[in-house]
Amino acid sequence: MAPQPQAFIQSAEQKQENGAPINLMYGEHDWMDIAGGYAAEQKIKEERENALKNASAEERAHDQGSAKALLIKKAGHHVYLDGWEEFNTVMRVQLMGRKEGPDTY
């Protein structure tokens, strides 16, 4: 008899979301206006503050949510192709856990 999969259900007490960093990347020559990225960044920050308004100091300290609109130099809309060096730097910095960095890499 083969083993049967079992569902794992977390209770509200067990489940803890700590947020996630969000980078909105725009190319210097992108057809999309970075102003929309800045507006989205601001809205995400406002929503994060609203979500954490009743959080404990410990919960706030563990929160990893953030948002940042970034301009990738010498790139069009496909920043991962046109500005691959800066794109890779942004991704490397993000994946290594550094929260802050320049707006333009």
Tell me the per-residue pLDDT of 10-47, one tens digit each, with 9 for 90 and over: 555 545 578 888 999 999 999 999 999 999 999 999 99
- Give residue 8's pLDDT: 53
pLDDT tens across 62-103, in order? Answer: 888 889 999 999 999 999 999 999 999 999 988 887 555 555
- Give residue 60's pLDDT: 87
- The phi, psi pair for 52, rounded to 5°, reads -100, 5
- Which comes out higher in pLDDT, residue 1 or 85? 85
Confidence of residue 105 (pLDDT cuts 50, 70, 90): very low
* HSE-up of residue 32 (Cα within 13 Å, Cβ side): 18
- Give residue 71's pLDDT: 95
- Give residue 30's pLDDT: 96
